[in-house]
Structure 1
């Protein structure tokens, strides 16, 4: 990043932020905020969380040391951080979407993919639109140094978002907003000029513990603290190896990610839908039977996951995740359905991958013929 401007807050800061918000809205962002670069008060919690091993195998969380909490070290020259919020509920989302998503959990033979993963890969969408926003900002302030991020670098996104008024940190650790719930992506622009920080908002979880109570694996170990090693999103996406056996029965029919803490959160009745077709649901991923998804060969998987977040896992881990869900479904199936599920599993019993074979064997053992 180049140094082009002073660290003194410009007298036009308020007007600039209003203009940036207007442009951001045109690009699909629902809210813009500004945070400073001093996150030193967040460092002790970050270090403590890492020391407890709650990041699991996400070694990148510790690779950059405290740069994660020090924007001006991560990107030298950074003076302010513009934060952005982009809703991702599909345009066709019904008002009772929470009820519908909760109902999927009662259909054990249906594979459930996290809502955010049913459309295009958000990393690409958010970053490309942040770059377009930067182009417009340049017409306002002149050439400036900047870098854009969206879950793509060692950035304390939720800390920056909460400090800049995007919402408060909910007990599930995500950012919650009174007018938008938590169904949105976060993005940041590190800039080398000074803007007046926007005010944070107060927390409104009160005594509610819905997210903690509903977490299938008990991953929310304290309000605002998640042990990723127990989180279904981590287990199905970030985890490259076997899923711990003691957690498999608790995963139900989740095959990529988990939204339970969000679909049961009362504030998400205010969740906003996106205006972008990028996040429309892709039909092969929604409401599909586990046996159909398990039948995908690698070519089919790559084709149907093209351009989406599910590409983050390979075909091997896709089969691993579905095998666990099939094992859980076996326990609740009638005899005819159990035969279908068992047949599907047997078709992968001799898979070339030891990882897949192990999870298929476990699934078959959940209910012997």
Structure 2
């Protein structure tokens, strides 16, 4: 049996590595004081657009002890999704995170295994796993846990591996050793702000979510506004522009998670293939894919918008 904070912490970090996570950082669970006014201001300016779920559970977003009774620690984890190959250049583009299987299921399984390992080795530990589908401020916790800094694009950035990774958490009722935040290394660079075709990054570190190409192609449930025509640069699902231009992403390395490997057909698809795709082909190529969120009808209407 393991019996102290240092050993618990080392055990959790080594288990995270064994499960394929890129890195693991730990913070003391408590109210995110600095984030509260930022979140309030962001919502007051309607930067969430039709993502009304962002307005729900305001207190829970800021305080993990309201999500897990007697929570002591937030274990933040990064999982790389940077692909070794990208799409045919003559194609409508989809965000790299959506190349493989839906990350929610892939990561949830890993988190359940991590929690089981913790309980098996340490004993009676209660916790919950979170993957971007509950009111948890992932990037804030990852930054607080020393896994990177929140860049001008709003993405979590790290010097060694850039930003092409998912963020997930385990919130547990176990005292651990806590990591410290790292410094910001964006400097005077404005590559992400300059490159965004819809001007969604309204100021350094402030993103108007309702102007982001990802919002228009995934979240928006009505027609894309006419004034956005010609601004999407062939993005049909999501957008990676701010990440692709970020100098820190020169250091991205391909992931080693087989479930994130794309269907080979996806990489070779041309614009013509996308335009002629049938529901049947969509179901085969994008089985268990994040594209299911936009549905066949959503992807088709996005492509029509790009063509008009």
Q: TM-score, structure 2 length as denominator?
A: 0.95
Q: CA contact under 8 A between 1:290 and 1:322: conserved in structure 2?
A: no
Partner of 2:220: 239
Q: CA contact under 8 A between 2:3 and 2:122: conserved in structure 1?
A: no
CA distance in 1, matches of 2:5, 2:154: 31
**Secondary structure at the counterpart of residue 86 of structure 1:** strand
Q: Which runs of 5+ in 2 are unaligned?
A: none
1:143 CA displacement: 1.9
1:53 to 38, 46, 51: 46
**Secondary structure at the counterpart of residue 236 of structure 1:** helix
CA distance in 2, matches of 1:203, 1:272: 21
- Deviations 1:40-99 (Å, cap 9, x if unpaired)? 221010010000000011111011122111111123321211000111113x35xxxxxx
Q: Which runs of 5+ in 1 are unaligned?
A: 1-9, 94-99, 328-362, 364-369
CA distance in 2, matches of 1:314, 1:154: 24
**Secondary structure at the counterpart of residue 140 of structure 1:** helix
Counterparts of 1:143-222 in structure 2, within 5 Å, are 143-222=124-203
1:250 to 231, 237, 245: 231
Could you list the runs of 4 or more consecutive aligned residues of structure 1 that deviate by over 4 angstroms after TM superposition? none
CA distance in 1, matches of 2:226, 2:266: 26
Partner of 1:123: 104
**Secondary structure at the counterpart of residue 246 of structure 1:** helix
Q: CA contact under 8 A between 1:33 and 1:165: conserved in structure 2?
A: yes
Q: CA contact under 8 A between 2:81 and 2:260: conserved in structure 1?
A: yes
Q: CA contact under 8 A between 1:127 and 1:149: conserved in structure 2?
A: yes
CA distance in 2, matches of 1:40, 1:11: 32
Partner of 2:23: 31
**Secondary structure at the counterpart of residue 236 of structure 2:** strand
**Secondary structure at the counterpart of residue 250 of structure 1:** coil
Partner of 1:4: none
Q: CA contact under 8 A between 1:40 and 1:70: conserved in structure 2?
A: no
Q: Which region of structure 1 is more displaced relative to structure 2, 300-309 or 52-61?
A: 300-309
Aligned-residue CA RMSD in angstroms? 1.7
CA distance in 2, matches of 1:117, 1:83: 21
2:5 to 9, 13, 16: 13
CA distance in 1, matches of 2:162, 2:226: 33
1:279 CA displacement: 1.0
1:11 CA displacement: 7.8
Q: CA contact under 8 A between 1:162 and 1:175: conserved in structure 2?
A: yes
1:78 aligns with 2:92: no
1:197 CA displacement: 1.6
CA distance in 1, matches of 2:246, 2:117: 36
Q: Which region of structure 1 is more displaced relative to structure 2, 135-144 or 184-193?
A: 135-144
Q: Which region of structure 1 is more displaced relative to structure 2, 272-281 or 116-125?
A: 272-281
Counterparts of 1:266-277 in structure 2, within 5 Å, are 266-277=247-258
Q: CA contact under 8 A between 2:68 and 2:171: conserved in structure 1?
A: yes
Larger radius of gyration: 1
CA distance in 1, matches of 2:20, 2:9: 16
CA distance in 2, matches of 1:124, 1:282: 17
Q: TM-score, structure 1 length as denominator?
A: 0.80
